[in-house]
Amino acid sequence: MWLNEQQITSTAIRAYRKTLLHSSPNHIVIDHLFDHNKLAEVSHVLQQEQHWKTQKHSYSALYVNDTKWQKTPAPQRFVQRDIWDRSAPGADKSPSAVAYEFLSYLRGDEFMSLLSRIFRVQITDINVAKPEVNTNYFRLSASDFVNQHADDSPGREICMLLYLNKDWQHDNGGELVFMGKDDKAVTIAPLYNRCVLFDPSSEGSEHWVEAVNGETAGSYRYNLTSWYWSE
């Protein structure tokens, strides 16, 4: 129901695998991986302001509160963005249920089995204490940022980014940039229903997000981020 079957044939998976092994960092970009109509329902839910709260990370501490944030020097700040509040009243009920359902699907057997086939590593949540915190929606405004960082936590095998920005234009900014190899950065535009999968331990996988264009103030760059572990 969630996946576009044309994008997960055996032939497609072999092609993804080949691309993965011959890229730096080891990554693939899959457009139209998910059903457009279902994602449209999710995108509509994300417009609801009541489910968003601010998230801030420094290089020395995650989930920094406002008091500590003000004391943190600018070079030590690496994330300021909004996160979808799964605990907000109504987040798992109609009409918001579809967004909650999608998050659950991405941590289910069908999707994790697909990732296992592509990366040839057994993905499972059997040893993950709180799987739900590893899959969520985020948004960036022109005043927000995600600076250079690595996602290579021990045991983390795959990182997934899915973009949910309808009618996103080149001059809107917000591109994902991998450091890459030999000073050859890899830049990926956050186009709607574009999925990026990468190995966070591979060379050149450190990354950041280009600023959202200030002229788009009042609008947001939406994405879903999900992290996966092996046994």
Res 35: pLDDT: 96
CA distance 157 to 6: 25
Q: What is the largest CA-CA distance in the chain?
A: 53
Looking at residue 5, its pLDDT comes to 96
In eight-state DSSP terms, residue 63 is S
CA-nearest of 224, 213, 191 to 45 is: 224
What is the residue extent of each domain of the chain? Answer: 5-229
How many angstroms separate the CA atoms of 18 and 14, rounded?
Answer: 6
- Do 231 and 156 contact (CB within 8 A), yes or no? no
End-to-end CA distance of the chain: 27
Residues paired with residue 81 on neighbouring β-strands, in sequence order: 55
H or E stretch including 100? Answer: helix 97-105
Overall CATH class of domain 5-229: mainly beta
The whole-number pLDDT of residue 90 equals 67
DSSP conformational letter for 23: S
pLDDT at position 86 is: 84
Which structure tokens are listed for 16?
Answer: 């993804």
pLDDT score for 91: 66
pLDDT along the chain (231 residues), means of 10: 96 97 97 96 92 94 93 95 85 80 96 97 92 95 95 94 91 95 94 97 96 76 96 74
CB-based contact 221:142 (threshold 8 Å): no
Residue pair 229/156 in contact (Cβ under 8 Å)? The answer is yes
CB contact at 8 A, 20 and 27? yes
Write down the pLDDT at residue 96. Answer: 84
**pLDDT at position 8:** 97
Separation CA 29–CA 203 (nearest Å):
17
